């Protein structure tokens, strides 16, 4: 089976839905679901084909055409051990989100257009991970940015949604500048944009060159994966429909930055400074996201902060090099299950509560929403890392890799695990336990099966996905041809693994107990006023991320742009206009000599002839 079918199917679905008009209103959502489900089936067949091959041969390459002849860049696709994992995640989780959306968007007048955008999003992400060169990746990268803009701002009649879409688009453009710069450096210094070409020629380049490429790629990853300092768009992006939040956070957009770093591993392995920067960004972001999550009352924004933190774990692991690439991808895959389930569960709660998102207006919903409670609860146990749920295996693997590198990194990951347990327990308690704090007229009810079945499937992934991936190093061995081809030895672990596991679970238990004690010991309505302290205000305002970006980047950028305008107006335009004025004045002087009177011209000719005659006579006499 051809690899290009993976992309062609959702592209076709998007084209029919977006260009076919209202004739597809009645069945467009079914076409969209079928397109992504068919793409998943194709991915499963290709995955089975790869799994039957020997490790060095686990790659399928297709060159479709040469799309930039002057640069000698082919439009090619590459399915290998790494991209196959993303294909199954994107299409598998994406298909479940599509099915869930049938129920969630049932009454929306723009449902056909919504499903067209979802198909476009999936197709762009598939192109991003299947391209065999950085230019193809860039094309998919920008496609994901466009689709996210359309989906976040889907309800553009709401000013908050329109503003959030613009913010996400602009912040991501900042990161995209980094990817564009990386491509320029690759082509000018290495002479190629293909993965194989870059990885072969990079060892012959200077350390400055590979470091510049690595830092530029990191900037791109920060934008797309909402890492510090380009994280401010992620919380606002919750203004889009909840299925969009699930797709962005679990299977597509925010995972793109992690994919870029892992795919570019050979470059980062040659640039220690760039790898250190990746680790720092991941460590800072996992703490920042966790702290922000503690103060959010909006259930979707609390989960968005959680995504920022969990992606920080993945980025930190990816920055550890070959020993961390595999565990970063493992956490990315398990996160895809439990975070998609958590967002869809949040959407089910909102569906039951008339689109209310404030958790202070929830409480006691476990009896009214038993399926949602059970599936959301499994996702909760997975994300906080309780054994034997998925997050326990993947997050603990990152903690172990961090401690093997430096004790400070390990401490950061353990603290992050404890804070994660705190804010996720807060979400559970405020939503499903305690007294009922519903608005008058609320009548919570369980979601229809078209919504609960995808939630149940994702809950099963949250339960057993981690054990399946970690068993006997299954995923590590599968990814080895891409992430660790040299079969390098693992770093020595100074602390026994069982000690790290026990310490981590103890910290997690403390976080759970603190949250339970805090949010069950007093009425929830008083929490906001009781927490009106400086640190909490900072957390509620996303640690002033927007203010920092405005002060550090936006205002200096405005001053720089205004200065450049002044230079252009006074300097460049002044020189050009000055030359024009000189020429104009000169021409005006010459024009005055053209009076139009014949006698004046005759007199001028007479004087000129006389001057010539005198010159000639004087010259002969001398």
Q: What is the pLDDT of residues 463-504, one digit of tens each?
A: 988 888 888 788 988 998 888 755 556 666 778 889 999 999
- Please say whether the beta carbons of 175 and 219 come within 8 A: yes
Q: What 3-state DSSP class applies to 347?
A: helix
Split at pLDDT 50, 70, 90, the class of 531 is very low
| Bigger pLDDT: 615 vs 257 | 257
Tens-digit pLDDT profile for residues 352-387: 999 899 999 999 999 999 999 999 999 999 999 999
Q: What is the mean pLDDT of residues 35-41?
A: 97
pLDDT at 530 over 50: no
Write out the DSSP string of 558-579. Answer: HHHHHHHHHIIIIIIHHHHHHH
C-alpha to C-alpha distances, 515 to 54, 300, 353, 380, 412, nearest whole angstrom? 49, 19, 24, 14, 20
- Please say whether the beta carbons of 238 and 245 come within 8 A: yes
pLDDT at 487: 54
Q: What is the mean pLDDT of residues 296-317?
A: 94
Q: Which of 18-27, 136-145, 279-288 has the lowest mean pLDDT?
A: 18-27
Handedness of CA 412, 414, 420, 425 (dihedral sign): negative
- Please say whether the beta carbons of 396 and 501 come within 8 A: yes
pLDDT at 132: 92
pLDDT at 567: 81
C-alpha 345: how far from chain center? 22
Handedness of CA 269, 272, 278, 280 (dihedral sign): positive
Using CA atoms of 218, 222, 228, 234 in order, give the dihedral in degrees to the nearest 10. -170
The stretches of 57-133 forming alpha helices (DSSP H) are 81-104, 111-130
Measured N-to-C along each axis, helices 5-19 and 28-51 cross at an angle, to the nearest 10 degrees, of 170
pLDDT at 540: 74
> What is the rounded CA–CA span in Å between residue 332 and residue 221?
14
pLDDT at 550 over 80: no
**Segment holding 369, helix H or strand E:** none
Mean residue pLDDT across the chain: 89
Q: DSSP secondary-structure letter at 251? A: I
Q: What is the pTM of this model?
A: 0.89
> What is the rounded CA–CA span in Å between residue 368 and residue 201?
61
pLDDT at 441: 82
- Count Cβ atoms within 10 A of the Cβ of residue 185 and give its class: 0-12 exposed, 13-18 middle, 19 or more buried: middle
pLDDT at 56 over 60: yes
> What is the rounded CA–CA span in Å between residue 136 and residue 63?
12
Q: Are strands 59-68 and 73-80 parallel, antiparallel or unpaired?
A: antiparallel
| Bigger pLDDT: 551 vs 397 | 397
Tokens of 500: 């790290």
- Please say whether the beta carbons of 403 and 496 come within 8 A: no
pLDDT at 14 over 90: yes
Q: In terms of residues, how long is the chain?
A: 622
Write out the DSSP string of 126-162. Answer: HHHHHBSBHHHHHHHHHHHHHHHHHHHTTTTTSHHHH
Split at pLDDT 50, 70, 90, the class of 533 is low
pLDDT at 250: 82
Tokens of 528: 């906001």
pLDDT at 522 over 80: no
CA angle 530, 532, 538 (to 5 degrees): 140
pLDDT at 526: 46
pLDDT at 12 over 70: yes
Q: What is the mean pLDDT of residues 340-353?
A: 94
> What is the rounded CA–CA span in Å between residue 445 and residue 439?
14
pLDDT at 604 over 60: yes
pLDDT at 603: 77
Q: Beta-carbon neighbour count of residue 19 at 10 Å?
A: 9
- Please say whether the beta carbons of 395 and 317 come within 8 A: no
> What is the rounded CA–CA span in Å between residue 198 and residue 192?
6
């Amino acid at each position: 089976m051809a690899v290009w079918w993976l992309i062609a199917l959702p592209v076709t679905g998007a084209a029919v839905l977006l260009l076919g008009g209202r004739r597809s209103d009645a069945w467009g959502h079914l076409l969209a679901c079928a397109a992504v489900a068919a793409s998943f089936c194709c991915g499963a067949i290709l995955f089975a084909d790869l799994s039957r091959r020997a490790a060095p041969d686990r790659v399928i390459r297709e060159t479709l055409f040469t799309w930039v002849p002057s640069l000698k860049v082919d439009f090619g696709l590459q399915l290998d051990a790494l991209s196959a994992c993303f294909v199954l995640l994107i299409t598998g989780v994406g298909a479940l989100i599509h099915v869930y959306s049938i129920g969630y968007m049932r009454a929306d007048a723009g449902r056909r257009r919504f499903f067209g955008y979802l198909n476009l999003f999936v197709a762009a992400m598939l192109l991003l991970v299947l391209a065999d060169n950085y230019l193809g990746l860039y094309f998919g990268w920008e496609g994901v940015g466009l689709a996210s803009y359309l989906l976040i701002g889907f309800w553009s009649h709401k000013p908050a949604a329109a503003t959030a879409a613009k913010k996400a688009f602009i912040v991501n453009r900042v990161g995209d500048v980094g990817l564009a710069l990386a491509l320029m450096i690759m082509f000018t210094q290495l002479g190629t944009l293909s993965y194989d070409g870059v990885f072969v020629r990079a060892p012959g380049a200077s350390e400055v060159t590979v470091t510049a490429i690595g830092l530029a790629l990191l900037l791109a990853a920060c934008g797309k994966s909402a890492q510090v300092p380009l994280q401010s768009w992620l919380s606002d992006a919750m203004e889009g429909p909840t299925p969009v939040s699930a797709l962005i956070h679990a299977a597509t957009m925010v995972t793109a930055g992690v994919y870029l770093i892992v795919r570019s591993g050979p470059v980062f392995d040659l640039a220690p400074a760039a790898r250190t920067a990746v680790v720092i960004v991941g460590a800072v972001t996992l703490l920042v996201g966790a702290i922000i999550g503690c103060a959010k009352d909006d259930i979707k924004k609390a989960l968005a902060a959680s995504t920022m933190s969990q992606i920080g774990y993945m980025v930190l692991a990816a920055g550890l090099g070959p020993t961390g690439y595999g565990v970063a991808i493992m956490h990315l895959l398990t996160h895809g299950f439990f975070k998609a389930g958590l967002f869809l569960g949040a959407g089910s709660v909102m569906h039951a509560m008339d689109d209310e998102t404030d958790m202070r207006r929830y409480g006691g919903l476990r009896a009214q929403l038993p399926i949602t409670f059970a599936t959301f609860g499994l996702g909760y146990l997975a994300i906080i890392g309780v054994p034997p749920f998925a997050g326990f295996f993947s997050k603990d693997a990152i903690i172990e890799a961090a401690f093997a590198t430096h004790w400070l990194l390990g401490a950061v990951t353990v603290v992050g695990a404890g804070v994660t347990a705190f804010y996720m327990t807060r979400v559970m308690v405020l939503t499903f336990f305690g007294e009922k704090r519903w608005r008058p007229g609320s009548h919570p009810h369980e979601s229809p099966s078209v919504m609960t079945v995808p939630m149940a499937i994702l809950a099963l992934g949250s339960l057993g996905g981690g054990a399946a991936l970690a068993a006997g190093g299954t995923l590590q061995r599968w990814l080895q041809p891409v992430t660790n081809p040299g079969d390098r030895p693992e770093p020595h672990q100074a602390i026994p693994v069982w000690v790290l596991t026990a310490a981590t679970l103890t910290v997690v238990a403390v976080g759970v107990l603190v949250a339970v004690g805090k949010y069950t010991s007093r009425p929830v309505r008083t929490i906001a006023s009781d927490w009106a302290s400086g640190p909490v205000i900072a957390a509620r305002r996303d640690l002033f991320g927007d203010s920092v970006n405005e002060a550090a980047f936006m205002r200096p950028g405005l001053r720089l742009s205004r200065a450049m305008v002044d230079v252009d107006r006074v300097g460049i335009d002044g020189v050009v206009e000055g030359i024009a004025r000189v020429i104009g004045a000169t021409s005006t002087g010459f024009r005055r000599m053209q009076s139009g009177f014949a006698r004046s011209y005759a007199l001028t000719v007479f004087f000129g002839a006389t001057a010539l005659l005198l010159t000639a006579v004087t010259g002969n006499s001398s």
